[in-house]
Amino acid sequence: MDDKLYYSIGEVSELLGVAPSVLRFWETEFDQLHPVRNRRGVRSYTRRDVELLQRIHYLTRDCGYTLDGARDQLRAHPEEDPKMQVIRNLTDLRAFLTDLKERL
């Protein structure tokens, strides 16, 4: 993922491989998630929001936690899990390689 200040819901949705509706739902379920909205209500996610969404995705989809369980894990361990760092790095690498492929 490049070093932009804000990411659209479409970009984040594509990065995580989930529908935008899932991101909007997670926003209602996790107090830590606060995307910026413009006057029209369009969401813009910061890098911190994207990292939090990656953790939520990892906990719910990869580890099999329920939303309550994922919420508890985030509260109990606010720091990033080392496995999550690896996943984020691989996701960034995938995005880079995809971009490179499109440029060729």
Eight-state DSSP code of residue 18: S
Q: In this structure, what is the dihedral angle of CA atoms 62, 22, 73, 93, given to the nearest 10 degrees?
A: 50
Q: What is the strand order of the sheet 43-45 is part of?
A: 7-8, 43-45, 36-37
Backbone φ and ψ for 44, nearest 5 degrees, come out as: -130, 125
* CA 58 – CA 16 distance, rounded (Å): 10
Helix/strand/coil for 98: helix
Residues 15-30, mean pLDDT to the nearest whole number: 95
Residue-wise pLDDT for 40-80, tens only, equals 989 999 998 998 999 999 999 988 999 999 999 888 877 76
**Could you tell me if 44 and 52 are in contact, meaning their C-beta atoms sit under 8 angstroms apart?**
no
| Structural domain 7-103, CATH architecture | Orthogonal Bundle (1.10)
Of 2-6, 15-19, 43-47, the poorest mean pLDDT is in 2-6
Tokens 């993922």 belong to which residue? 1
pTM for this model (two decimals): 0.74
Q: Predicted confidence band at 88 (pLDDT cuts at 50, 70, 90)?
A: confident
Phi-psi region of 11 (alpha: psi -120 to 50; beta: other; left: phi over 0): alpha
